[in-house]
Structure 1
Amino acid sequence: MDITEYIRLVFSDYTLRTITLGTAVLGAVTGMLGSFAVLRKQSLLGDAISHAALPGIAIAFLITGTKDGNVLLLGALVSGLIGTFWIRSIVKKTHLKSDTALGLILSLFFGLGMLLLTFIQKQPNANQAGLDKYLFGQAATLIESDVWMMTWVTGICLVVLLLFWKEFKILLFDADYTKTLGFNTKFIDILITTFIVVAIVLGLQTVGVVLMSAMLLAPAAGARQWTNSLGYMVIIASFFGALSGVVGTAISASQNNLSTGPVIVIIAGIFVLISFVFSPSRGLLFKQIRFIKNRRDLQLHKTLSFMYNIAKTHEDIAHPHAIKILNNFQGYTRGTLQKLVKKNYVNLDGSLWSLTEEGYKTASNLYNQQTKNDE
């Protein structure tokens, strides 16, 4: 399936259009809210919440006896919120760190969820088939009402984000200062956490319990490499998330027996990898380029400073002894000399060199600075 055929099918095929829109909206909202989880250093929170939602799905099914998506997600939401506030209580009321609390709740709730799913699967009831799809997600089960619900939730999150932007931003970077300004930090913190839980629960049907944390964190982690601005980070993370959903859905639709959720997560991971390598400010590639450039500049400055020392201590720099000293200098190469000539620091006449006026001033400053550092 080529790109033109896929675009045509998106507009003509109900299922593909629904899945594409659903994954795009999900990617946007998780990228937007995941930015706050990453900056708050709560990367494991998404993993804990998604796993904590599993017993809620199972209990909702046991109570109702049906696989109504809204009912199951409501159960997941309640279970996820309970797990989240248990984590907060453990951290505040015990000496345990947040990572320990996250690990405890994740293991406890996931173990309970698997136990309940095993119990349900053994019941003589045909309705229980398919509940295990919430472990890894099944995007094909999305319907138009699911997409509308995701869109409404995304819209509400965006409105709340804009209304409380100042409070969220201050709380992220200086919670103590937020308190001194008179803001209710507990309310703001609960508000952020609640929306993160809602976003995770929305994605369980598409990506699943196991992979949902990656959907929350990967777009935000990639966006963080490109900017130092919170606003731009949220926008870039939303874009990465939405694009991961669209591209992942397209690849999954073009191949047989290829699950949509895992493909979306892999695409999001590729965006993170690209960001780690190619982002201008933090990317490994540009860091290496800057390192090489700085090392070459240092080599040039060392050579220029050394030439200044020779010119200062030798009356005749054309003397073989002076030339030998320069040739034996560790930082000296013919290439270095040519670069100094290009910068108009050195004049070269055959094998003879001399400092230009600009080169002499620059070298004098470098030599004096080096002398001070040595002292």
Structure 2
Amino acid sequence: MMSTLQDFLSCSDPNVRNVLLGTILLSTSSAMIGVLALLKRKTLISDAIAHAVLPGSCLAFLLTGNKNSIWLIISAFITGWLASIAIDQITTHSKIKLDAAIAIVASIAFGLGSFLLSMLQHNGQAGQGGLKSFLLGSAATLLQEDVVALLWLSGIIIVVLILFFKEFMLIAFDRLFAQSIGLPIKKINFLFTSLMVLAIVIGIRAVGVVLMSAMLITPSTTARFWTGKIAYIMLFAMLIAVFASLVGTFISYTIPSMPTGPWIVVIMSLIAYSSFLVAWCGRIFKKKRINIS
């Protein structure tokens, strides 16, 4: 076991290096976006966007005939953005509530994506192999060019989040005050939604449509159990994401039949449940101390 761990940490295998670096970049950027989405109460919207990415990826392959990463990302980004616009329009111009609008858009998008995926797999078109991995992801198939793309896109997300962190926080906590001091709220919201869609799009290859929303939501909600300060929530969420990526990738490296993406989500979920139990026991112990005193 120790020799296996040493081989894994040495990253001498290029495949392990690609998978580990790719999942760490993905989980870190997703965790940062997830914290802001949690504060802005947009966590459920990420699930609808993740489901809307699937038809975009299938349409890109249908139009181009190959699995070019650039076209897949562009097409998935467009359909993800259309999903967020659809949710906003439904809630604005009808009596349908946000949760129902998210369910409607997510179900329609996933149904359309499944239909296109099934059509592509049965039409005998060359090069369509591997498209089914968009459902649950396939981090083990990440290539060096995929990691380079992840590096650039994750870097863009992290840099923009750092530059506009104060503006995002101000709008999340006090929208009226932000409007009164002249902040361009619509433009900043547009920027944040674009970053969230981009974070989801780049993660589909690794963890898939079904699990991508968990990559955004789980680290941020788990960190919230341990601290109330925004900076610490962001830090803890990133550490949880990195730790889950390391453990999930190591499990997949040790047992090749185990998929990397789902195991990363499982580790995140175990940390989340453990944090909930610790917080719950802490509240009970605190109440008993108060009653005794």
Range of TM-score over shorter length: over 0.9
8 A Cα contact 2:36 2:169, kept in partner: no
Structure 1 residues 213-265: Cα deviation after superposition (integer angstroms, max 9, x where no partner): 11110001101111111122111111111211111111111113111111010
Gap regions ≥5 residues in structure 2: none
Gap regions ≥5 residues in structure 1: 298-375
Instruction: Give the corresponding residue for 2:7.
Output: 8
Instruction: Give the corresponding residue for 1:221.
Output: 221
> Which protein is bigger by CA-based radius of gyration?
1
TM-score (norm 2): 0.95
8 A Cα contact 1:26 1:245, kept in partner: no
Distance in 1, Cα, partners of 2:210 & 2:2: 30
Q: 1:125 and 1:193, CA in 2 relative to 1: closer, same or farther beyond 3 A?
A: same
Instruction: Give the corresponding residue for 1:179.
Output: 179
TM-superposed CA distance for 1:162, in Å, is 2.1
8 A Cα contact 2:244 2:264, kept in partner: yes
Instruction: Give the corresponding residue for 2:191.
Output: 191
Instruction: Give the corresponding residue for 1:295.
Output: 291
CA RMSD of aligned residues (A): 1.4
Distance in 2, Cα, partners of 1:255 & 1:81: 37
TM-superposed CA distance for 1:3, in Å, is 4.6
Q: Percent identity, aligned pairs only?
A: 37
| 1:254-273 matches, cutoff 5 A | 254-273=254-273
Higher helix share goes to which structure? Answer: 2
Instruction: Give the corresponding residue for 1:237.
Output: 237
TM-score (norm 1): 0.75
Distance in 1, Cα, partners of 2:6 & 2:139: 18
Instruction: Write the letter of the residue equivalent to 2:182.
Output: G
Q: How many residues align?
A: 292
Distance in 1, Cα, partners of 2:112 & 2:150: 27
8 A Cα contact 1:136 1:208, kept in partner: yes
1:96 is paired with a residue whose SS is: coil
| 1:40-119 matches, cutoff 5 A | 40-119=40-119
Instruction: Write the letter of the residue equivalent to 1:294.
Output: I
Bigger relative contact order, structure 1 or 2 (CA pairs below 8 A, ≥6 apart)? 2
Distance in 2, Cα, partners of 1:155 & 1:121: 34
Q: 1:46 and 1:3, CA in 2 relative to 1: closer, same or farther beyond 3 A?
A: farther
Distance in 2, Cα, partners of 1:92 & 1:259: 40
Distance in 2, Cα, partners of 1:84 & 1:76: 13
TM-superposed CA distance for 1:153, in Å, is 2.1
Identify the range of structure 1 (141-150 vs 56-65) with the bigger mean alpha-carbon deviation: 141-150
Structure 1 residues 329-357: Cα deviation after superposition (integer angstroms, max 9, x where no partner): xxxxxxxxxxxxxxxxxxxxxxxxxxxxx
1:76 is paired with a residue whose SS is: helix
TM-superposed CA distance for 1:155, in Å, is 2.1
Distance in 2, Cα, partners of 1:3 & 1:88: 52
Q: Establish whether residue 154 from structure 1 lines up as the match of residue 154 from structure 2.
A: yes
| 1:274-313 matches, cutoff 5 A | 274-278=274-278, 283-297=279-293
8 A Cα contact 2:55 2:76, kept in partner: yes
